[in-house]
Amino acid sequence: MAVETSPIDAPAGSTIARLERDARLRRIELAVPGLDGRQAAEHLSEHLQAVPGVAVVNVNPTARLARVDYDPDRASVSALARAARSAGYSIGSASLDLGIQGMHCASCVSTIEHALAQTPGVLAATVNLATERAHVEYVPAFIDASALRQAITSAGYDVREGVARGETAVDQEQRDREREYRSLLTKFWFAAAISVPVIVFSYPQFFPVLREWLTMGSDARRLVWGALGVMTLPVMFWSGSQFFSGMWAGLRHRQANMNTLIAIGTSAAWLYSSVAVVAPQVFPRMELAEEFYDVAAVVIALVVLGLALEVKAKGRTSEAIKKLVGLQAKTARVLRDGRELDIAVEEVLVGDTVVVRPGEKVPVDGVLTDGSSSVDESMITGESIPVEKHAGDEVIGATINQTGSFRFEATKVGKDTALAQIIRLVQDAQGSKAPIQRVVDQVSQYFVPTVMILAVIAAVVWFDFGPQPAPVYALIVFVTTLIIACPCALGLATPTSLTVGIGKGAEQGILIRSGDALQSAQRLQTIVLDKTGTITKGNPELTDVVAETGFDEDELLAIAAAVERNSEHPLAGAIVEGARLRQLSQLEASDFEAIPGHGAKATVDGRSVLLGNTRLMADRGITLGRLQGEAQRMAEDGKTPMFMALDEVAAGIVAAADTVKDDSAEAIAALKQMGLEVVMLTGDNRRTAEAIGRMVGVDRVLAEVLPQDKAHEVQKLQLEGRKVGMVGDGINDAPALAQADVGFAIGTGTDVAIEAADVTLISGNLRAVVTAIQVSKATMRNVYENLIWAFGYNSLGIPIAMGLLYPFTGLLLSPLIAAAAMATSSISVVTNANRLRRWQPRPYGGMP
């Protein structure tokens, strides 16, 4: 399988090589992307002509194509490519990495290289013995990956089936995690198995048989204890090996972490016990010669189990990425040489015509050329309603074709597809830090050494002032304090929630670019909406046709359309389209004349037509009568009316307007319900703007704003002391998006990586803003829950472990309880973050 197909010199899709079988000669068309000008074409032509076996060369500098008729027995494609290269040009080619199995010697390398180089269409092949991979450069239309594999197989080697690059990373991560989990679990079971006898023999007083046998101070007791000490060693140094190696690695960098705490705690318990066994005489009294091997064994067993469960749970936090990667199509059906070929999706090139049948996945991004269908885009945009697609519409890779068959031209492949960009953005965002994390970082920098200092202080205080046997209490307090502290819970709190939250956003078609954006989005107070394209659809539509008595509406519209077909005015398209939708008969206009600032005049069906504003009508002395009032009313509704006169008599009005999106009002209401002030920003005149503002229910309208002043308006709102979010398209509104505290870019098809935006709404739907803020609120609430839990746990647990409650209640924790608490606390944090995975956007009206 292909691992990576990449254009080398140019969009490889521009290589359109076609073979036409002649009696003897073969014809090939090679794309030469760098070709510029006639002189260059001649230069290239000379070089190609010089290749032995080449009959006719025809280089077209405009199309940047070289057509060569050659004798396949004497010349080869690679010879042509070499000739082109020596002329200073390279022909569009693709490269591919193939894994090879069965290479055992250096001579294999040359065998395979030779086999590949002999294959027609291959330009170059290099084989690396160490990595067991072949890198092949080839002309895609001449040969495909399966033929390359064939060449290797026939040379006597096997091609390893590989996977796409993005998938490898995720798969590998999962594999690593799985291995880590299994290894930790094995370590746990070993530690647990040893812990059982260690506990039993450590507390003989609870077991009648043992109680009589292992009396205090007896030799039998000492011997058994000694055996326990030896048994505990493999638990510490195998099951708990990562604590010791982690401590050591940290100490070399003068850093301390959780491993340091566990390693010191368990070693202290083990050393004390071993002194008690080997040299009990150093203790002034016999009851001080206690053993705590059970502490060492059980603590390690519990913490290792905690780590294992944590690894498992952490794996689930990045499930969203796995889902996204899983969306990628595996194969594509492309049209090459007039044949439909099933090829791996990695081999699809820009410019390929891809065929999609009902129920199939769209393999890459492109533009529909032939056919129509409805496509389910919910996996990318989060919009559940399928989208109708016709010729000229963009299709997005990984979406599912539902009803019809269609063909499209691939425009983005490989790492450029919308899906690949989404995956990259989400991964980057999941790795970023929320501002709150910096505070946590400051704390965790001091956390572990502070705990160590507290443990030492607690031990000294207990030794000096505690009840007897003081050394035993001092040791217990020391060990318990070290063990109960859980820096992991602190460290995990923010990143795990962030990973889940940002993944959750991606599932809804919302790309949150960073932890910063996520944290800011929930604090927004004002949302600025750009009118055109955000609240409205962005392209005007015909709204009204009013006919004066004696005229027919459809007739008027048909005539208006005939006139406007000649016009370039933005509203003209709306009228032409409106007539088309009503399926009116097409009329022809003659003598068209545009009257700038007024309208237009023309002749249709022998009648003179005037189409334009009040001034045009007034200039011609046409009385408008009741139409004047109608027009006034339409303007107040945000529409643009145009008067029509036939043969110098007022005939009616056609009006067009940029129509409001179906769910704009609903989304704005939801934003207001969330306590946000909603502001509309537009370049329209105040009357029209206010009419639309009223219709959708915004709080404030900022009208007549020049495009270059949008950022300034956002800044003015910020100077009022408000946190401002700006919603707009990523191109015209880029400065305003960047100025805002959070910039939401309305998605434009497959272009998802909008630089200026903090959040990209792929669906282009205003409702997504509501969902984005909901996601941010839910995630940050989760982060705070985690932090409160982690800080609370540590700031309660550590003093209790130090014995602060002992003077008042006699409460002192056992190190075993501390270990259990510590293991549970970091799992709780990850589990709480995973709770977010079940989060769903709330329907409107259910806002808190």
Partner 1 sequence: MTTIQIAVTFAGLVLVVGIAWFFWGPRRGGLRAATTSSGYQEAMVLVKGGYTPDLIVVQHGKPVRLNFRREETAACSEMVVFGDFGKSARLPEGETVPLEFLPEKPGEYEFTCQMGMLRGKLVVE
Q: Which of 32, 40, 300, 311 binds partner 1 (CB under 8 A)?
A: 311
| Minimal distance, residue 183 CB to partner 1, in Å | 8
Taking the C-alpha atoms of residue 715 and residue 724, their distance in angstroms, rounded to an integer, is 9
The helix (H) or strand (E) run that includes residue 299 is helix 293-317
Q: Which of 81, 295, 488, 705 binds partner 1 (CB under 8 A)?
A: 488
Taking the C-alpha atoms of residue 161 and residue 89, their distance in angstroms, rounded to an integer, is 34
| Minimal distance, residue 454 CB to partner 1, in Å | 9
The helix (H) or strand (E) run that includes residue 687 is helix 686-696
The interface mask with partner 1, positions 413-452, x = CB under 8 A, is --------------xx--xxx---xx-xx--xxx-xx--x
Is 121 or 265 the residue whose CB approaches partner 1 more closely?
Answer: 265
Answer yes or no whether residue 97 interacts with partner 1 by CB under 8 A.
no
Answer yes or no whether residue 776 interacts with partner 1 by CB under 8 A.
no
| Minimal distance, residue 433 CB to partner 1, in Å | 4
10 Å Cβ neighbour count for 443? 16
Catalytic residue among 294, 530, 729, 758: 530
Taking the C-alpha atoms of residue 663 and residue 384, their distance in angstroms, rounded to an integer, is 14
**In terms of Cα–Cα distance, which of 305, 317, 4, 304 is closest to 173?**
317
Is 671 or 759 the residue whose CB approaches partner 1 more closely?
Answer: 759
**SS3 letters across 771-808:** HHHHHHHHHHHHHHHHHHHHHHHHHHHHHHHHCCCHHH
Answer yes or no whether residue 495 interacts with partner 1 by CB under 8 A.
yes
Answer yes or no whether residue 183 interacts with partner 1 by CB under 8 A.
yes
Q: Which of 54, 87, 164, 258 binds partner 1 (CB under 8 A)?
A: 258
| Minimal distance, residue 806 CB to partner 1, in Å | 19
Report whether 417 contacts 312 (CB < 8 A).
no
DSSP 113-179: HHHHHTSTTEEEEEEETTTTEEEEEE-TTT--HHHHHHHHHHTT-EEEP---HHHHHHHHHHHHHHH
Q: Which of 193, 233, 457, 753 binds partner 1 (CB under 8 A)?
A: 457
Is 234 or 250 the residue whose CB approaches partner 1 more closely?
Answer: 250
Answer yes or no whether residue 779 interacts with partner 1 by CB under 8 A.
no
What residues numbered 497-526 form the site for partner 1, per CB under 8 A?
Answer: 514
| Minimal distance, residue 825 CB to partner 1, in Å | 14
Taking the C-alpha atoms of residue 232 and residue 226, their distance in angstroms, rounded to an integer, is 10
Taking the C-alpha atoms of residue 832 and residue 824, their distance in angstroms, rounded to an integer, is 12
Partners of residue 332 on adjacent β-strands: 343
Altogether, the residues listed in the chain come to a count of: 848
The interface mask with partner 1, positions 218-247, x = CB under 8 A, is ------------------------x--xx-
Q: Which of 67, 221, 314, 336 binds partner 1 (CB under 8 A)?
A: 314
| Minimal distance, residue 476 CB to partner 1, in Å | 15
The interface mask with partner 1, positions 152-171, x = CB under 8 A, is -----------------x--
DSSP designation for 747:
P
| Minimal distance, residue 735 CB to partner 1, in Å | 20
The reply to whether 530 belongs to the active site is yes
Answer yes or no whether residue 24 interacts with partner 1 by CB under 8 A.
no
The interface mask with partner 1, positions 271-290, x = CB under 8 A, is --------------------
Task: Name every residue whose Cβ is closer than 8 Å to that of residue 48 and which is 6 or more positions away in sequence.
Answer: 54, 57, 59, 66, 68, 80, 83, 84, 87
Report whether 383 contacts 508 (CB < 8 A).
no
Answer yes or no whether residue 468 interacts with partner 1 by CB under 8 A.
no
Report whether 767 contacts 527 (CB < 8 A).
no
Query: What's the burial of 768, exposed, middle or buried (CB within 10 Å: 0-12/13-18/19+)?
Result: buried
Is 479 or 576 the residue whose CB approaches partner 1 more closely?
Answer: 479
Considering only the stretches 116-124, 230-238, 248-256, 569-577, report the one whose residues sit in contact with partner 1 under the rule CB under 8 A. Answer: 248-256
Any idea which residue has 């077209």 for tokens? 60
| Minimal distance, residue 256 CB to partner 1, in Å | 6
Q: Which of 43, 160, 177, 322 binds partner 1 (CB under 8 A)?
A: 177
Taking the C-alpha atoms of residue 498 and residue 531, their distance in angstroms, rounded to an integer, is 32
Answer yes or no whether residue 257 interacts with partner 1 by CB under 8 A.
yes
Angle between helices 570-581 and 553-564 (to 10 degrees): 140
| Minimal distance, residue 255 CB to partner 1, in Å | 6
Residues that bind partner 1 (CB under 8 A): 169, 172-173, 176-177, 179-180, 183, 242, 245-246, 248-250, 252-259, 310-311, 314, 427-428, 431-433, 437-438, 440-441, 444-446, 448-449, 452-453, 456-457, 459-460, 463-464, 487-488, 491-492, 495, 514
Q: Which residue numbers are catalytic?
A: 530
